[in-house]
Amino acid sequence: NKNVYLSARNLPGVEIITASDINTYKIMNCGNLVLTESSVAVIDDLLKA
């Protein structure tokens, strides 16, 4: 989502990645995880595969 990217790109300590590039390491080592509804659907599809 372009708006999420533009909103968060200049915040210190924030890492923005696409749902298709997410992995267990990234999820387990973040303090907070913010997802868009569309990214949840992509991750759900990846986990079903």
Single-letter residue type at 26: K
pLDDT one-digit tens code per residue, 10-32: 899 899 898 888 888 998 999 99
What mean pLDDT is reported for the chain?
A: 88
**How far is 31 from 2, CA to CA, in rounded Å?**
23
Token pair 């992509």 is found at: 42
What residue ranges do the domains of the chain occupy? 2-48
Nearest to 41 by CA among 22, 27, 15: 22
Average pLDDT of span 30-46: 90
9, pLDDT greater than 90: no
Sorting pLDDT into bands at 50, 70 and 90, what band is 41?
very high
49, pLDDT greater than 80: no
User: Could you tell me the two tokens for 7?
Assistant: 């909103």
Global pTM reads 0.65
